[in-house]
Structure 1
Amino acid sequence: MQATTTKPQRILVVTDDAVGSTMAGPAIRAWNIAKVLADAGHDVRLASTLRAEGSSPDFAICDGSPEFLPGLARGMDVIVTQGFTLKYRPWLADMGAKMVVDLYDPIHLETLEGEGDDGVDIHQSRVDNCLDALQVQMLAGDFFLCASPAQRQLWLGHLSALGRINVRTYAQDSSLEKLIAIAPFGISETPPQPLLPDGRHAIKGTVAGIEPDDTLLLWAGGVYNWFDPVTLVRAVAALAPEHPRLKLMFMGTKHPSLDDLSTTVLRQAVATAEQLGLLASRVFFREGWVPYEQRGAYLSDADIGVSTHFLHAETAFSFRTRMLDYLWAGLPMVGTEGDEFARLIAADGLGAVVPATDVPALTAALRRLLDDPAALAAAAEQVRRLAPDYYWRKALAPLVEYCADPYFAADRGHPSGVMGTAQRLGAGIDKRTAHLQEYLRVNGAGMLLRRAPRLAARRVAAIGRRLGGS
């Protein structure tokens, strides 16, 4: 898909994730969205509401904190958001820009698999928070992105339930491609740098206990509760007698945007490795988070990329970003069935797919690759063949095409469907409540009281316009 830019657009990309030398999936995606759109000739700014560091020759990196974000958003033609951005800053949708909502991450399903130690009610409140965020985004968006065909079906259901699939959007495009398009996570066209900046290997011969000629299984990314690292640790234990040089490293145990990543499954994996006598001798947990620009050196030291998970709703609609790193590095992959990448691995011969929580099956799959260098090489070749299909410029082609000639959704300003006027007005009240909370946090109650009469008059007028359908 090749898009021709009719005129450069002013585009703001906003993420709630930390942008800088260490970045997790949402920030990496936002960064590359900004780069691809800048490469297409647009004037792009990338803002983080959490932490913005570093620089890029292609786009501006900006502080998205409350005192700066309104100024950044003013006058933009297109605003690209993700996650919780609009829930806590709903006024972004009222700035006159076309709103692109990136739904690549099903946050509500991830939260169902999150920590539940605080009890059912608190856990449910976190899920409700995610559902609120999704509703605000889906009511405000003009164009939506998702990561896979399965996700598109999921989000079409959400959009339909909120009345966004209606006579106007259907008349605009009966395929609904103008409303929601598939734009998966991508990879760089520049190959990984095999060594650290100081010329050392990142893992082999550098990490105590991992020698240059060892065979390395690498788990890239975090260890969240929807993953199953324990089955993998047990498979390594089963292979240890016949493969004495086999090692396993978990690459990241401290998310750059979270204070703590001591998830239940991570604690279980460490405990299992210790019980089996493998900790720091066969199984290694790297503390911290690998700097974004150095992750290529870690991937280059690996022989096989691994990812094991449980089978549940999160799995069915996930798009594992760590698997893209394996693709980028040309690594054969071994993973669990049930997600989009399992389908790719099986269909394209990228490695092996195994049933969930099946230690013997995982052990056998790893053994087949470890004992057959030709099979391992063939899988690596298939990975290299597939990789160009996921270059960022190709993955984000639907977004580039949209931004070449952006448009408002056909139903913008026309409440319809099951939401009804009262429910849509209620959604607006939720937005205003979030705006009020942010205003109080920044300016204090005194300023609010001084401005209250004028603000009230504006709100009454806005409600009148909304009920009048203007």
Structure 2
Amino acid sequence: MHTLLLCPDRIGPLMAGPAIRYHEMARALVAHGSITLASPFPNPLEIPGVERAVLDDLTLPRLLQRADLVVVQGLLFERHPTLAGAKVPVVVDLFDPMILEALHLPDGRSMTGRLYSYERLLALTLLQLHRGDYFLAANSRQRDFYLGMLAAVNRLNPAWAEKGVRPDRLVGLVPHGLPDGPVAEGPPVLKGVHPGVPSDAALIVWPGGLWDWTDPVTLVEAVDLVRREMPRTRLLLWGSRHPNPEVPAMEAPLRARRRAGELGLLDTVVFFEEWVPYEERGRWLKESDVAVSLSLPSLETRFAHRARLLDCLWAGVPVVTSRGDPLAATITRNGMGASVKPGRPDELARILLGLLGRPDALRTMRDRISRFRPRLTWQRCVKPLVRFMATPRVDEAKRSLDFLGPLALLLAVDRPFLRPVVRAGVSLSRHGLWATLKKASRVTAKALTPSNRQREAGPSVPSCPGGDARKDVEIS
């Protein structure tokens, strides 16, 4: 059994969530078969027994030819449309709900631009839902969300139900996991070493990226309250700039930095750091007293799975997080940290003072984390995928031509000059030549009526990037 893992992101010393996920999944899956890990960039990180490859249009056909199973995530269906026609079972990894993140892209762009980006990601998601034979979600809320979408695109149909209506037959829960081993020992890297962090500092860390759906400003304001009672308090925020240059800059780090400057905390109490090297993250976290991750109230928060919070648990660091996402509930329920209402710096400051001022409370939380940690290892998390690898199958409940609909939408949104051709092709495949020609003649006749010609001569309407879809002939 040869499994091909296709990662959409840069794997290397500096990694974000998708790259970490595929690097660690490859490490966990190698005991269960032959593994190739491919990404769009050269991968310098060796994993014993795992073959590495650079993913591009030239290498993909060869990689697919060797594979018995493909696991794919993110934007790769858009970058490599041939994936939609792969002849082997395809596992679509939906751990990152892109369409919900797209609701919170930078506000500085026009609404036309934001709608354009959202429609592209929606089309991409629909294509994945049509094409996949098995799907991965990071938590049960995500699974319910995607089951609803799968029902809407006719994947939960009688042919599927006839084989037994079990959600895990179609969507497996594969959350982000923890390494099996402990954090590597080593000399201090922060306390007494970082120029702004004294050896006796009460150290708070923000352990992940500063995305626009996160809320670092509330943390900065809370630290301003905490340091008045505990002057040795310091805050380090990682991830000011994404290691992948293709990821657009976010406004959240700019807002947080501006607020820290207004409060007189910048580079004295609050420090913004670059992306921490993956192999060093455990040592950075281990020296921290508390980790904090805050999110704005949103649909993204409700369905998210904060991968970097798991790194905190791996390092034994208590976590304070905003309420709303499933992992925050797990942390609070098991006494491994605390939760706070979004946008409440005063409440957050009280919680932080209560933890930083009570070493016994922090020790108790660390003990609970240590007992809970074995339940979250990568070896346990990948079990649903391992079961599918043992008996990979093409889902016969799919309608063979269904994927053409979202593929057409994806092409139409991103490549406007192809819209009429793609729509005509889809219509031919679904309805045949005669019905397509009849539809085209009706649309053309309607477009040539005097009222329509007069409308077209009126004021122009701002177009989406690359053209206005409303001017295309509709054939479906």
Report the TM-score when normalising by structure 2: 0.84
The match for 2:349 among 338, 341, 363 is 363
Q: Summarize the Cα distance change of 1:466–1:245 in structure 2 as closer, same or farther, 3 Å threshold.
A: farther
For residue 88 of structure 2, the aligned residue among 76, 84, 97 is: 97
Alignment partner, residue 24 of structure 2: 32
CA contact (8 A) 2:7 2:39 kept: yes
Given the superposition, is the C-alpha separation of residues 162 and 283 from structure 1 closer, same or farther in structure 2, using an over 3 Å criterion? Answer: same
Q: Distance in 2 between matches of 1:316 and 1:251?
A: 23
Separation (CA, whole Å) in 1 of partners of 2:232 and 2:272: 17
Amino acid at match of 2:331: I
Cα distance between partner residues in 2 of 1:239 and 1:345:
23
Residue 447 of structure 2: aligned partner: none
Gapped regions of structure 1 (runs ≥ 5) = 1-8, 416-420, 438-455
**CA deviation after TM superposition for structure 1 residue 93, in Å:** 3.4
What secondary structure does 1:177 align onto? helix
- Corresponding position: 1:187 with 2:178: yes
Q: How many Å apart are 1:432 and its aligned residue?
A: 7.6
For residues 225 and 180 of structure 1, the distance between their equivalents in structure 2, rounded to whole angstroms, comes to 28
Over aligned residue pairs, what C-alpha RMSD do you find? 2.5
1:91 and 1:431 in contact (8 A); partners too:
no
Q: Pick from 386, 390, 410: which aligns with 2:372?
A: 386
* Shift in Å, 1:435: 12
Q: CA deviation at 1:258?
A: 2.9
Give 2:281's aligned residue. 295
Aligned to 2:319: 333
- After superposition, what is the alpha-carbon deviation per residue over 1:58-109, rounded to whole angstroms, capped at 9, x for unaligned? 3011100222122111131100000111233232232311100000000111
Identity of aligned residues (%): 33
Counterpart-to-counterpart distance in 2, 1:365 and 1:103: 34
SS in structure 2 at match of 1:249: strand
Q: How many correspondences in the alignment? A: 426
Alignment-derived partner of residue 21 in structure 1: 13
Match runs of 1:216-365 below 5 Å: 216-258=203-245, 262-287=249-274, 289-365=275-351
- In terms of mean alpha carbon deviation, does 289-298 or 427-436 score higher? 427-436
Distance in 1 (alpha carbons) for counterparts of 2:42 and 2:116: 26
Query: Are the structure 2 counterparts of residues 433 and 231 from structure 1 closer, same or farther at C-alpha, using a change threshold of 3 Å?
Result: closer
- The letter for the 2-side match of 1:339 is D
Residue segments in structure 2 that go unaligned for 5+ positions in a row: 417-421, 433-476
Query: Deviation of residue 434 (structure 1)?
Result: 10
Partners of 2:124 and 2:56 in 1: how far apart? Answer: 19
Out of 170, 191, 216, the residue aligned to residue 161 of structure 2 is 170
* 1-structure distance, mates of 2:294, 2:288: 17
Amino acid at match of 1:229: P
C-alpha contact 2:116 2:413 (8 A) present in aligned 1 = no
Cα contact 1:194–1:201 (8 A) shared by 2: no
Q: Which residue among 188, 191, 204 is the counterpart of 1:204?
A: 191
Q: Is the Cα contact below 8 Å between 1:77 and 1:96 reproduced in 2?
A: no
Shift of residue 429, structure 1, vs aligned partner: 4.1
Q: Could you tell me whether the CA contact under 8 Å between 2:124 and 2:410 is conserved in 1?
A: no
* Alignment match, 2:361: 375
> Counterpart amino acid of 2:81?
P
Give the 3 Å change call, closer, same or farther, for CA 244–436 of structure 1 in structure 2. closer
Residue 427 of structure 1: CA displacement?
3.4
Tell me the equivalent position of 1:451.
Answer: none
Contact 1:87 1:137 in 2 (8 A): no
- Per-residue deviation at 1:466? 11
- Contact kept in structure 2, 1:219 and 1:249, CA below 8 Å: yes
Alpha-carbon distance between aligned partners in 1 of 2:382 and 2:173, rounded to the nearest angstrom: 8
Q: How does 1:51-62 map to 2 (within 5 A)?
A: 51-62=42-53
Q: Could you say if the C-alpha distance between residues 436 and 272 of structure 1 is closer, same or farther in structure 2, counting changes exceeding 3 Å?
A: closer
Relative contact order higher in (CA < 8 Å, ≥ 6 apart): 1
Q: Name the amino acid aligned to 2:225.
A: A
- Contact 1:354 1:361 (8 Å CA) reproduced: yes
CA 1:268/1:427 → structure 2, altered by over 3 Å: closer, same or farther?
A: closer
Q: Is 1:110 paired with 2:101?
A: yes
Distance 2:284 2:295 in 1: 22
Preserved contact between residue 123 and residue 406 of structure 2 (Cα < 8 Å): no
Moved more, 55-64 or 327-336: 55-64
Distance 1:404 1:435 in 2: 37
Q: Is the 8 A contact 2:127 2:403 kept in 1?
A: no
Once the two structures are TM-superposed, the CA of residue 317 in structure 1 deviates from its matched residue by 0.3
Q: Give SS of 1:241's match.
A: helix
- Please tell me the residue identity of whatever aligns with 2:76: T
Deviation string, structure 1 residues 285-337 (Cα, Å, up to 9, x no partner): 013x2221111121111111110111111100000011111111111111101
- Residue in structure 2 matched with residue 403 of structure 1 by the alignment: 389
3-state SS of the aligned residue for 2:229?
coil
- Looking at structure 2, the residues matched to 428 and 342 of structure 1 have their Cα atoms a distance apart, in angstroms, of 36
Whichever of the two has the greater Rg, that structure is 2
CA contact (8 A) 1:88 1:435 kept: no
Tell me how far apart the structure 2 counterparts of residues 371 and 425 of structure 1 sit (CA, whole Å): 60
Q: Helix, strand or coil for the counterpart of 2:90?
A: strand
* Cα distance in 2 for residues equivalent to 1:165 and 1:229: 40
Q: Using a 3 Å threshold, how does the CA distance of structure 1 residues 434 and 80 change in structure 2: closer, same or farther?
A: farther
User: The residue matched to 2:167 in structure 1 has which SS?
Assistant: coil
Distance change >3 Å, CA 424–CA 86, structure 1 → 2: closer
274 and 172 in structure 1: CA distance in 2 versus 1, 3 angstrom threshold: same
Deviates more, 1:80-89 or 1:223-232: 80-89
